[in-house]
Every structure is written in C-alpha cells, then in structure tokens.
A and B are shown apart, each in its own frame.
Chain A
C-alpha cells in the first residue's frame, strides 16, 4: 500500500522559533496533500490543502502567514510553523490521497510539536 512519512516525529522548541515539518509520499506521487492538527482528545482539524506547483488552500481561521506550506515536488510537502507559541503545541498529521477507487487517504505517522 501507499506509504507516507513525516519528519520529525517529535520536536520541542522555544517560543518564537520556527519549526519545519516534512511530509513525503514514498511510493507514489501526490499532487495534493492535506495538513491536519489534532489537539488532545479532539478530532482531526483540516488546516490546509497543499497543492503541488501552486499555492496552498487554507481553511477558515488558519493563518497562512503563520503556517507556511510549500509543495515543492510530487512527493514532498512541508509545513513551517513560524514564530511558534505554546498554543501551537499539537499533533500535526499530513495525508495524501492514494490512487485506489475507495478514495482512501494515507496518513503520515504525525509530528508531536511542543513549544516551551
């Protein structure tokens, strides 16, 4: 099956710094990738849709200047949390739709961000 990797799996940073999270489709090409955020005991919240070769589409309430998304190639999308604050601490997950008829999305393992 399709595999999506994410790096890093965990990151701890100081308030005010920027953190980059990478999402890679390992054995398939993904023109679209999705970035989610999940707070403890809450459901996945779609932040943005990353589109290869064009600008990302952000969901309402998500600051595009704070959460920079770059979909540089058909296998890589990056999410940069700029000037991170403690309230940005969360579980960030990326996913990519596969080619199967069931429209299944394949998820990366997630990145746990802790901002001190």
Chain B
C-alpha cells in the first residue's frame, strides 16, 4: 500500500534549527514535496526533490534519499511565524500526490 509517515508534533525554540523527517512508500515515485500550512489556510509550496541530495532555499532545506524512501525538511533560524503544520507528500507513478498527516511545529520563545 501507499504510506507516508511523519511525526505528529514537534516543538522547537525560536532561533534554533529543527529537522522534520518523512518516510514514504508509494507506487512509483515522481518526487517529494514539502508544503507549509497555517491553521485555516491552504498549503503553500516549500520544496520539491526528485533527485537524491540536499536542496537549499534560504532558511529552509530539503533532503531526499530515494533508496531509503526518506526525506527531511530542515528549518534554520526559526521564527515564531514558522509555527505551522508541515506536510510531506509523494508524487506517485500516476502523478497523484499521496499526503502525510502533517507535522505540527510549535515554536517557543
């Protein structure tokens, strides 16, 4: 079956670094997405990885290992506005997104 696993909730301190992990098992693979979703709002695109390695974009970086079915989102210099849910999604062989349940990130001062 198809499955995406990520932690339910994480807590971090303002200014610190946090890594949110995601493991996936999907029918075929056409890339791994990370989206940010604030409460009551639609998801917004953060990153897309289709090749192994690290993609850096400002304070956010995303890593992919296809052989391990594993990705992580790394957030540096955390700000209070980063408090949100972070959704991991895999694009399967039919180009359909398979979504994880999301990781609620709580930032404390």
- Decide yes or no: A109 and B31 within 8 Å by CB, A44-B99, A46-B97 being known contacts: no
Range class of the B interface residue count: 20 to 34
Residues B48 and A103 in contact, CB atoms below 8 Å apart: yes
Number of residue pairs A-B, CB distance < 8 angstroms:
44
The docked-state distance in angstroms from the alpha carbon of A105 to that of B42 is 12
Q: Which residues of A contact B44 (CB under 8 A)?
A: 107
Min distance, Cβ A107 to any Cβ of chain B, angstroms: 4
Q: Which residue of A lies closest to B47 (CB)?
A: A102
Tell whether A104 pairs with B42 under 8 Å between CB atoms, given A43-B99, A43-B101: no
Residues of chain A within 8 A (CB-CB) of B91 are 103
Alpha-carbon distance between A107 and B46 when the two chains are bound, in angstroms: 13
For B33, the chain A residues whose CB sits under 8 A away are 104
Least Cβ distance of B49 to chain A in Å? 9
Q: Chain B contact residues: over half helix, strand or loop, or mixed?
A: loop
Quote the shortest CB–CB distance from A35 to chain B (angstroms). Answer: 12
What residue of chain A has the Cβ atom nearest to residue B31's Cβ? Answer: A103
A103: chain B residues at CB < 8 Å are: 30-31, 48, 91, 95
Given contacts A43-B102, A44-B43, A110-B41, contact A105 B97 (CB under 8 A): yes
The answer to the question of B96 belonging to the interface, with a C-beta cut-off of 8 Å to chain A, is yes
Are the C-beta atoms of A107 and B100 separated by less than 8 Å?
no
Residues of A within 8 A of B (CB): 34, 41-46, 49, 91, 93, 97, 102-110, 112
20 A-B pairs (CB sep. < 8 Å): A41-B104, A42-B101, A43-B87, A43-B102, A44-B87, A44-B99, A49-B96, A93-B42, A93-B43, A102-B31, A103-B48, A103-B95, A104-B48, A105-B97, A107-B42, A107-B43, A107-B44, A110-B40, A110-B41, A112-B40
